[in-house]
Structure 1
């Protein structure tokens, strides 16, 4: 991978330095996770949580105005098993990103990297806590999940994860409202393929299309954050049905 390139890139703004450090942290974590004996369990945990999110937010997930955006969040931003080439490519083009992209776009990318990193760190912790209790990840139930969730030593990170979803979603919404972006993404497809950056390009194009189709991103994010904060409170307080929320949430 491209750790040396990340380290040796000259960065001259706070946004670039933040992105550089997060990419280094994420790079090192990916290496650690790849060699971890519970690697496959982390993917199982991620799949379980993705299905739980779809169930909790079923009304939003089935809504024509939100479905594509939520699908992108769950399958692209929350799909660590299939994004190795994309992540490697981000490391590879980092020197060009900090040279050509404005700070607000570097901040958006930093938020995406931090969200992905925290999510995968939390997945690994849950897999380890399940393993300590001899609970196979493939057999996890809602009760098992809540048990290890309450045993987590990373509850502050879980709170931050929810807020990052809000921040990143709002930044992506502002980003895709730029009318020139769609044209630029279409025109850059062939050069991206020639530079072996098709995975990264496809990721950006899917995100652009997903968020362009949503009319009221602020409302979606507000509901997601409110509901997930309630789910967290329910789990920590031992609610018998933590994922069943009032109809007005």
Structure 2
């Protein structure tokens, strides 16, 4: 609906240009996905994977120092069913966004968009692979999941997804540790509302608040990456309990 607005907006920085291209890619994918016969299946798979992530990283998820950050990643970032309005608004206000927001915020948003786009592309592929095997997404088990995972033609993208999680996490951490950016975020609330950027501003503020509460973010990110890389290796090698990890990970 707002694709022409994305295309026609003049951008002056590398961060704005990167965000523009990612939003175009994401816009096209979202519209293709919205008309896909397996749309509901992708949402079921997203919920299943979110619960799997919470289970695998239960110790981190329940840790008071990490819970808010992980909750942001799993709900605000990885929640395809609830993001349509926000994503449409981001497309709609992109010309104002690149005018009003500093490059640091545009770069953080670009990383989040890239990770979200890749995650949803991977979910759609899993839905298609399950459908080819006659397995309803609502009946998915760990065994079904691992079977279609191994049949994926996007294994390298799945490995990249883990790296993107780390990159986005580090971006958010640098973002929230910068006191100037925190001040800009607070000061930009009213202008954001006046420019009809409230949805975007609230999204960035939730991410800022969630990560601001966390200590030793590098340790969390490193642990998440090592664990998820081990999960990938377990699945690809046919491990009988791929999501059960050694206690020292």
How high is the TM-score relative to the length of structure 2?
0.94
Counterpart of 2:96 in structure 1 is: 96
Counterpart of 1:138 in structure 2 is: 138
Counterpart of 1:33 in structure 2 is: 33
Counterpart of 1:128 in structure 2 is: 128
Equivalents in 2 of 1:6, 1:199: separation in Å? Answer: 17
Give per-residue Cα distances to partners, 1:108-147, cap 9 Å, x unaligned: 2221111000000001110111111111111100000000
Number of corresponding residues: 249
Runs of 5+ consecutive residues of structure 1 not aligned to the other structure: none
2:108 counterpart of 1:108: yes
Deviation at 1:92, TM superposition (A): 2.1
Equivalents in 2 of 1:179, 1:13: separation in Å? Answer: 23
Counterpart of 1:171 in structure 2 is: 171
Deviation at 1:100, TM superposition (A): 4.2
Q: CA RMSD in A?
A: 1.7
Give per-residue Cα distances to partners, 1:71-109, cap 9 Å, x unaligned: 010001100110112112221222233334444433322
2:216 counterpart of 1:247: no
Where does 1:1-249 land on structure 2 (aligned, <5 Å)? 1-193=1-193, 195-249=195-249
Deviation at 1:188, TM superposition (A): 4.4
Poorly superposed stretches of 4+, deviation over 3 Å: 99-105, 180-198
Equivalents in 1 of 2:215, 2:147: separation in Å? Answer: 38
Q: 1:180 to 1:103 in 2, by over 3 A?
A: closer
Equivalents in 2 of 1:83, 1:101: separation in Å? Answer: 21
- What SS is found at the alignment partner of 2:166? helix
Give per-residue Cα distances to partners, 1:37-84, cap 9 Å, x unaligned: 111111100000000000000000010100011001000110011011
- What SS is found at the alignment partner of 2:241? coil
Q: 1:19 to 1:194 in 2, by over 3 A?
A: closer
Deviation at 1:16, TM superposition (A): 2.3
How high is the TM-score relative to the length of structure 1?
0.94
Does the CA contact (< 8 Å) of 2:192 and 2:201 recur in 1?
yes
Q: 1:202 to 1:98 in 2, by over 3 A?
A: closer
